[in-house]
Amino acid sequence: MYLATSLLDILLLADWNTRVVVIGTSMLGVAAGVVGAFLVLRKRALLGDTVSHAMLPGVVGAFLVMQAFGGGGKSFAGLLLGAAIAGVLAAWAIPVLRRATGLKDDAIMGVVLGGGFGLGIAMLGVAQAMPGGNQAGLESFIYGRTASMVQDDAIGIGVTAVVTLLIAVLLAKEFRLLCFDESFGRALGRKEGVLDLGLMVLAVTVTVVGLQAVGLILVIALLIIPGAAARFWTDEFVRMVSLAGVIGAVACWLGASISAMAPDLPAGSIIVLTLSSLFGLSMLVGTRRGAVKRIIQSRKLRRRTGWQHLMRAAAESLESQGTDTWTIEQLSPLRSWSTSRLRALHRSAIRRGDIISCEDGYALTESGRTAADRVVRNHRLWELFLIRHADIAASHVDRDADMVEHVLGDELVAELETILAGSDVALVSPHALGGQA
Amino acid sequence: MTLDYDGWIILIGVLVAACCAIPGSWLVVRGMGMMGDAISHAVLPGIAIGFLVSGTRSGGWMFLGAAISGVLAAVMTQIVHRWGRVDRGAAMGLVFTAFFSLGLLLIVQTADTVDLDPNCVLYGAIELAPLDTISLAGLDVPRIVMPLAIVLLANVGLTLLLFKELLATAFDPGLATAQGFDARWLHYGLMVLTAATCVACFEAVGSIITVALLVAPPAAALMLTRRMRWVIVLATALGGLAAVLGHFSALTVPGWILGGGLDTSSAGMMAVASLVIFLFMATFAPGRGVLARRWVSRRDAMRVAVEDALGLLFRLEERAVMLDRVEVEGLLQSDVRIGGRLGTVLTQIRRGSLAEVDNGAWKLTESGRTAARSLVRAHRLWETYLAGRASIPSSHLHAAAERLEHVTDPTLAEQLRTEVGDASDDPHGRPIPPG
Amino acid sequence: MDRPPEIQPTVARGSEHDPDAAISIHDLTVAYDRRPVLWDVDLDVPTGCLAAIVGPNGAGKSTLIKACLDLLPRVSGDVRMFGSPWRSVRSRVAYVPQRETVDWDFPVSALDVVAMGTYGRLGWLRPVGKAQKQAAMHALDRVGLSDYAARQISQLSGGQQQRVFLARALVQEADLYLMDEPFASVDAATEQAIVEVLRDLRSSGATLVVVHHDLQTVAEYFEHIILLNMRVVASGAMDETLTADNLRATYGGRLTLLEQAATALGRLSKDR
C-alpha cells in the first residue's frame, strides 16, 4: 500500500525536486527518441554506442584538467564539455581509421570503443590515486544516477534537449533524404558528409546530456530503442519519428519515477528495462509489423491458399468426372493434403457458403461455382504468364490477387486469354476448360 | 616455480589476451567485431544469477549462467533482426543494453548480501587477482588462472578442430551450409566460446576492456597478414604484448606525466596498449600500413617520372633532334608527371648512370638507352594494340599508352608483341623498337 | 618548335567541350578500388535526344552516370552539362538511380519519395508544402500510380517502385535526365508505361540518357546510342551506330591484356 501511494506520488510529480528531475529526463527522452530514430534509419546505431563509450576519457580528462587548474574538478558543464570533445573525436576517428586501414567498420568500432573506454578507466585510476582529488561522482557517468541530479542539472538537460529537438525537426526533411537515398541526395547537391556530421553532433549532444541520467553504457538504448520500437507501429516517417519521441519520453518518465522510489534502483537500468519492455510489446502487438499481426496475416494467407486449392480441385474433379458432386476420397489424391486437413477445408468452405454437403458428398453452390471458375481461370492465366514472361522476377508478382487484371493490366490479360483459348489442350491440363469467364 | 606479484599479473594478462585473441579473430574476420561488445555486456545477468545461485565466484555456475545469457543474447539479436526486421546493429544494441541493465539491477539489488561489485564487472580487478590463491599441486596459484587456462585450452582445441569449418562459414555461409557445415551452429558455437571467454576474462579485466582485447589485436594482425592461421597466431602474440606493455605502463606512465609514483588500472592500460599497438600497425605495417602505402606511391611516381624523362631523351635521339641541356630540362619541367620533381629525377638519372651531361647536352648511356627503348617499345606496342583492338580514337592513343607503358613488364610486352602480329610501326608511323 | 605528339611532354590537357551538347564528357577515367572501369571516355550527347547507354555487364554503364554526377571520384576527366560543370546546373539535371540502391523497407510513402524530387528547389530547412505535394501527386499521376500515393513503398511491386523513382525525377522538371536501368526487372506493362513517359519528356525538349540492358528493344525505344565497354566503342544516331561491327567490338570479348595492365595501372594513378 505504501509502495503504491509513493509510486503514485512520484508519477504525479508531487515532490518538487523529483518533478524537475523527471520532467528534465522526459525531455531528454523525447530528444533522444527523435535523434535516435534518424540514427536507426541511417543504420548507425553502433556508432552511437562506440561514441558514448569513448566519452569516458573525455569526462575524466576534463576532471583532471580542471583539478590541475584548481577548479576542484566538479564543474558539471566542464565534464560534459570533455565528454562532447571525446565523443566528436571518436566519431571523427572511425571513418579516418577505416580509410587508413581498409578494415571493416565493426573492427574499427570495437577498437575505438574498447581502447577509448580502457583509456578512461586508466585515467580514472589516476584520478583516484591522485592526492587530494575528489573523484567521487565521476563513476556516476558510467551508470548514471538521476537521484543525485539537482534542479539546475535537470533544467540544463531539459533546455539542451529542447534545442536539440528543434534542430532535429528543422532538419527532418534533409535527414529523411539522407537516410533513404543518399546518392539521390548527393545528386540534389546535399553534402552527405555535412548532414552525417550534423546527425553525429546531435547524437553526441543527446548522449552527453544523457550521461547523467542513464550513464554512458546504457545511453545508446535511449537513442536506438524508441526508434526501433516505433517502426512496428507505423510506415510513415514523421509519425515514426514522433512516436519515437513519445516512447522515449514515457520510458524516461516511468524510469526516473520508479528509480526515485528507492535508492537501490539505478535509473539507467530501470529506464532501459522500461524501454526494452516497450520494444518487446511493440514487436509483439505493433499494428504495422508486430508479430501477432504477421501471424494473423500468414494464417489468413494459409487459409486463403487452402480455399483456393480446394475450389480448384473440386472444379477440376467435377470436370473430369462429369458429375455434380464429389467426395473427400476423390479429392485427396489430387494434392498432398491430409484427409483431416481436407475435411477442415470443406467445413470452412461450407461456412462461407461456397459448397454444400449432400448425400453423395459435396456440391458447389451458385456462388461457389462462380468463385471456383475464377480461381481456375486466374491460376491458368498466371501459369501462362509465368511461362511467357519468365524474365520477370516472380517475386514481384502478386499471385494471390483476386483479379489478374489489377496486377497485369487489361491488355496483357486479354492477350493471355487469347493464347489460352487457342492452346488449352497443350497448355494446362487434359480437362476441358468449361466456364472460363 | 613461483612468481612474484607483478609476474602473476602479467601472466594473467597474457592468458586473458591469448583467450580473447582466438574468438576475437573469428569475430573480426566475420565482420562481427561489435558482437564481442554485445556479448561481453550481455553476460552480466548470467554472471549475476550464477553468483547468486552458488554464492561463489569459483564455481561452474557463473560460467553456465554467462554462457546461457551470452547465447540467449545472440539468439535474441537474431530474432529481433529477422522477425522485427530491425537493422542488425540496432538489434545488437537494444538486446545487449537490456541484458546489461538487467544484470546491473540484479547486482545493485543484491549488493548488500553478496560481494559482487559492479565496478569490478566493468573494469575488473586484476590487481587483486594474485592475492586470491588456491593450492594447485602444492603451489599457490591465483584462483583465476584455472578458468583462464581451461578456456584457453578450449579455444585452442576448438579452433584446431574446427578450423576448416569456421573458415568456410566465415567466408561463404551459404556454400558452407550447402556442404553440410551448418553455419548457424558454428555461429552460435562461436557465441558460446565468446561468452565463456568473456566470463573467464571479466574478473581480471572487466567486460568492456575485454572488447578491446577481443578486437584490437586481431585488427592489428590483419594489418600484417591476411592468412587466417597467422592472424590468430599474431593476434595472440600482439595481445600478449599489449598485456605486458599495459601492466608496465600502468605502473610507470602516470608517474612520468604527473610525477609522484602514481599508478593506475592495469586492465585499462592493457586496453590502451592494444589500441596503441593497433594504431602502430595501421601506420607502420609493411605493405598495408599508411606509411608503406604512401612510400610505395611516392616511389612509383618517381619511377614514372624517371622513365618519362628517359623516354623523352630516347625520342629526341631517335629523331636526331639536337637540344641543349637547358632546352631539354625546360621540356621535362613542363611535363606534369615530372614538374617539381625535376631535381630529384635528374639526380636519380645521374646516380643510376642512365644518362649524363656531355658537351652541354643530356646524352643517354648504354644502360639508359636499353631501359628507354623497352619503355618506348611498350608505348608503341600499346598504341598499336589499342588502335587495332579497342577502337580507341587515334587522338587518344598517346594518352592511354603514356600510362600503360609504365606498368608493362617484359612478359606483358611479349604478349602484346604476339597480339599485334607483324606490325613494325605504331599507328603514328613510328617504328616499334625490337625487344 | 614544332614537334610530333610523342615528343610533346605530358601536360594537363585543356577541355574542348561542345557547348551545344546537353552532356559533354571529356577524357573521363574512373577506377573502382584502384581498378579502372572507364577509360578515357569522350562523349557528347546532343540536346533534346533520347539516348541509351548499352554494353555488357561490368562495362561501366552505371559508373559512367554516377561519375557524371560526382557520385564517384574520378581519376581524371571533365564533365559539362549544358556547357557548365554539373554543380552550377544541378537543378536542371535529374537522376534515377537503380532500384536496388535504397532500402525499400524505409518508412516513407510513395508520395513522400516523389516529393523528395522537390527538395533540390526547396533548399535547406524549408518543409514540404502543399505545392510540392501537388506536384508530386501530378507526377505520380503521369506514371499511373496516383492510386498508390499513400502506400508504404515496400508494398509496391518492383515495376511500381521503378515508376515511383521515375516520378521523383519528373517532379524535378529537369532538362537532362540520367537514368540507371529503369527497365530492370519490370513487367511488360510497366516497361511500356515508362517508355511513354520518356517519349513525352523528349518531345517537351528534355534530354534523356538511359542505361539500358536489352539490345532487342533499344532500337525501338531510343534514337541515339552509346556503346560502352570500359571505353566508348561508338556513339551516335541509332541507325548509323547500331551496326554488327560495333556490337562485336562492344560485346566481343574483353581486352584481356588491357585488363591485365589495369590493376597495376590503377594503383599507379590512384596513389598520385
Phi, psi dihedral angles at C71 (to 5 degrees): -80, -15
Radius of gyration of chain B (CA): 32
**Is the Cβ pair A41, C113 closer than 8 Å?**
no
Nearest CB among C95, C102, C189 relative to A408 is that of: C189
Distance from CA of A320 to the nearest CA of C (A): 35
Q: Shortest CB distance from B32 goes to which of A106, A266, A273? A: A106
Digit-coded pLDDT (tens) for B90-103? 999 999 999 998 98
In this structure, what is the dihedral angle of CA atoms B8, B11, B15, B18, given to the nearest 10 degrees? Answer: 160
Are C261 and B412 in contact (CB < 8 Å)? yes
Q: Which of C6, C25, C28, C35 to mutate to test the interface with B (most CBs of B within 10 A)?
A: C6
Q: What is the mean pLDDT of residues A228-251?
A: 93
> Which CATH architecture describes the domain A12-223?
Orthogonal Bundle (1.10)
Q: What does the pLDDT average to over A198-207?
A: 89
Q: Which of B187, B192, B231 is nearest to B30 (CA)?
A: B187
pLDDT of residue A371: 85
| Residue A65: band (very low, low, confident or very high) from pLDDT cuts 50, 70, 90 | confident
Q: What is the pLDDT of residues B76-85, one digit of tens each?
A: 998 898 888 8
Residue with cell 510513395: C110
- In C, minimum Cα distance to A230 occurs at C107
The DSSP call for residue B433 is P
Check CB contact of C2 with chain B, cutoff 8 Å: no
Q: Determine whether the interchain pair B275/A114 forms a contact, defined as Cβ–Cβ distance below 8 Å.
A: yes
- Please report the pLDDT score of residue C91 as a whole number: 84
* The pLDDT of residue C11 is above 80: no
| Integer CA distances (angstroms), A48 to A37, A52, A101, A193, in order | 12, 6, 21, 17
Query: For chain C, where are the E strands, in sequence order?
Result: 21-32, 35-46, 50-54, 76-81, 84-85, 93-96, 176-179, 207-211, 224-229, 231-237
Domain extent listing, chain B: 5-285, 294-419
- Give the residues across from C229 on adjacent strands: C231
Nearest to C47 by CA among C208, C227, C229: C208
Which of 1.10.10.10, 3.30.559.10, 3.20.20.70, 3.10.129.10 is the CATH number of B294-419?
A: 1.10.10.10
Q: What pLDDT does residue A226 have?
A: 95
- Residue A8 pLDDT level (bands cut at 50, 70, 90): low
Enumerate the residues of chain B whose CB falls inside 8 A of the CB of residue A115: 212, 216, 271-272, 274-276, 278
| Bridge pairing between strands C207-211 and C176-179 | parallel
pLDDT at A429 over 90: no
Taking the CA of residue B243 as centre, how many other CA atoms within 13 Å lie in the half-sphere pointing to its CB?
29
Between A245 and C8, name the one with better pLDDT: A245
- Measure CB to CB from residue A184 to each of C95, C127, C185 and give the nearest one: C95
Which pLDDT score is estimated for A224?
A: 92
Give the residue on B whose Cα is nearest the Cα of C232: B392
Tell me how far apart the 2 most distant CA atoms of chain A are, in Å: 102
Phi-psi label, residue C126: left if phi above 0, alpha if psi -120 to 50, beta otherwise: beta
Task: Give the cell for residue C231.
Answer: 571505353
Q: Given the DSSP bridges, would you call strands B133-136 and A355-358 parallel, antiparallel or unpaired?
A: unpaired
Report in angstroms the alpha-carbon separations of B299 from A102, B58, B150, B340, C271: 21, 58, 50, 15, 10
More confident position, C187 or C41: C41
- DSSP run (H or E) holding B399: helix B394-404
Query: Confidence class of residue A245 from pLDDT cuts 50, 70 and 90?
Result: very high
**Which among B27, B29, B34 is the top mutation candidate for probing chain A, defined by the most A β-carbons within 10 Å of its own β-carbon?**
B34
Between A231, A389, A412, which is nearest C107 by CB? A231
Res C185: pLDDT = 74
A104 → chain B, closest CA residue: B31
- Is residue B43 pLDDT above 70, yes or no? yes
Q: Any idea how long chain A is?
A: 437
Q: How many helices (H) and strands (E) does chain C have?
A: 10, 10
Residue whose C-alpha cell is 586492465: B267
pLDDT at B209: 81
Minimal C-alpha gap between C176 and chain B (Å):
27
- Grid coordinates representing C60 are 561501366
pLDDT at A22: 83
Cβ of C107 within 8 Å of Cβ of A234? The answer is: yes
Please tell me if residue C66 touches chain A, with a CB cutoff of 8 Å: yes
DSSP assignments along C246-270, one per residue: HHHHHHS---HHHHHHHHHHHHHHH
Contact C169, C182 (CB under 8 A): no
Question: Residues A257-293: pLDDT tens digits?
Answer: 887 777 677 788 888 999 999 999 999 999 888 888 8
CATH number of C17-101+176-265: 3.40.50.300
**Who has greater pLDDT, B213 or C230?**
B213
Asked if the Cβ–Cβ distance from C40 to B392 is below 8 Å, we say: yes
Query: Min CA distance, A112 vs chain B (Å)?
Result: 7
* pLDDT tens-digit readout, A390-427: 444 444 444 444 445 555 566 667 777 777 676 544 34
Q: How far apart are CA B252 and CA B243, in angstroms?
A: 14
Exposure string over B296-334, b if 16+ CB within 10 A, otherwise e: eeeebbeebbbbbbbbbbbbbebeeeebeeeebbebbee
- Cβ pair B282:A113 closer than 8 A: no
B267 touches chain A (CB under 8 A): yes
Alpha-carbon distance of B217 to B239, in angstroms, equals 5
Specify whether the CB–CB gap between B63 and B50 falls below 8 A. Answer: yes
* pLDDT level of residue C13 (50, 70, 90 thresholds): very low
In tens, the pLDDT along B193-215 reads: 888 898 888 877 887 788 899 99
Per-residue pLDDT, averaged over A207-218, amounts to: 82
Higher-confidence residue of B117 and A214: namely A214
If you measure CA to CA, which chain A residue comes closest to C156? A396
Cell of B392: 580507341
Position A131 scores a pLDDT of: 65
Q: Assess whether pLDDT exceeds 60 at residue C3.
A: no
What are the chain A neighbours of B98 within 8 Å (beta carbons)? Answer: 221, 272-273, 275-276
Alpha carbon distance C198, B105 (integer Å)? 62
Q: What is the nearest CA distance from A233 to chain B, expressed in angstroms?
A: 11
Q: Which helix (H) or strand (E) holds C169?
A: helix C158-171
CB within 8 Å: B98 and A273: yes
The residues, any chain, with a CB within 8 Å of residue A305's CB and separated by 6 or more, are A400
Of A43, A106, A232, Cβ closest to residue B33: A106
Tens digits of per-residue pLDDT, B264-323? 888 889 999 999 999 999 999 988 889 998 898 888 888 888 888 898 889 888 888 888
Give the position of cell 605528339: C5
What are the structural domain ranges in chain A? 12-223, 293-427
Domain A293-427 has CATH 1.10.10: yes
Q: Is the dihedral of CA A395, A399, A405, A407 positive or negative?
A: negative
Tell me if B97 and A218 make a contact (CB, 8 A cut-off): yes
The domain defined by B5-285 folds into: ABC transporter involved in vitamin B12 uptake, BtuC (1.10.3470)
Query: Per the CB < 8 Å rule, is B87 touching A264?
Result: no
Over the stretch A318-360, which tens digit does the pLDDT of each residue have?
888 888 888 888 888 777 778 888 888 888 888 988 888 888 8
Q: Is residue B336 helix, strand or coil?
A: coil
- Please name the chains neighbouring C, where neighbouring means 3+ C-beta pairs under 8 angstroms: A, B
Contacts C87 to A, Cβ<8 Å:
189
Scanning every residue of chain C, which has its alpha carbon at the shortest distance from the alpha carbon of A102? Answer: C33
Q: CA C134 to CA A128: how far, in whole Å?
A: 64
pTM reported for the whole predicted model = 0.80
pLDDT value for A133: 56
Minimum CA–CA partner of C118 in chain A? A188
Contact B34 A100 (CB under 8 A): no
Query: In which element (H, E) is residue A363 found?
Result: strand A361-364
Instruction: Say which DSSP state B430 is in.
Output: P
What residue of C is the nearest CA neighbor of B301?
A: C272
Selected for mutation to probe chain A from B106, B272, B290 (highest A CB count within 10 Å) is B272
| C108 contact A CB<8A | yes
What mean pLDDT, rounded, does chain B reach?
A: 84
Give domain limits for chain C: 17-101+176-265
Q: Which of A108, A113, A128 to mutate to test the interface with B (most CBs of B within 10 A)?
A: A113
Nearest neighbour of C11 by CB, restricted to B316, B336, B430: B336
Question: Which residues on chain A are in Cβ contact (under 8 Å) with B101?
Answer: 218, 221, 268-270, 272-273, 276
Between CA A57 and CA B208 the distance in angstroms is 14
Question: Tens digit of pLDDT for each residue in B111-168?
Answer: 666 666 666 777 777 877 787 777 777 777 888 888 899 999 999 999 898 888 888 7
Q: What percent of chain C has pLDDT over 90?
A: 18
Q: In what order do the strands lie in the sheet with C224-229?
A: C93-96, C176-179, C207-211, C50-54, C224-229, C231-237
Q: State chain C's mean pLDDT as an integer.
A: 82
DSSP for residue C109:
B
Instruction: Tell me what ipTM this predicted complex has.
Output: 0.84
Put residue B374 in one of left, alpha, beta given phi > 0 → left and psi -120 to 50 → alpha: alpha
CB contacts, 8 Å: B209 with chain A? 114, 117-118, 121
Sequence-distant (≥ 6) Cβ neighbours of residue C167 within 8 angstroms: C110, C114, C117, C136, C139, C140, C142, C143, C145
Residue B314: C-alpha distances to residues A215, B319, B356, B374, C73 (Å): 71, 9, 13, 10, 35
Q: B: neighbours with 3+ CB pairs under 8 Å?
A: A, C
The cell for A209 is: 546530456
Residues of B in contact with A121 (CB under 8 A): 122-123, 206, 208-209, 265, 267-268, 271
8 Å CB contact of B104 and A53: no
H runs (alpha helix) in A102-171:
105-129, 140-143, 151-170
CA distance B53 to C241: 81
- Shortest distance between the Cα of C234 and any Cα of chain B, in A, equals 9
Q: Which of A34-38, A174-178, C57-61, C136-140 has the lowest mean pLDDT?
A: C57-61
The residue that leads in pLDDT, A168 or C259, is A168
* Chain B contact for C249 (CB, 8 A cutoff): yes
Evaluate if residue C14 carries a pLDDT over 50: no
Do B295 and B346 form a contact (C-beta atoms < 8 A)?
Answer: no
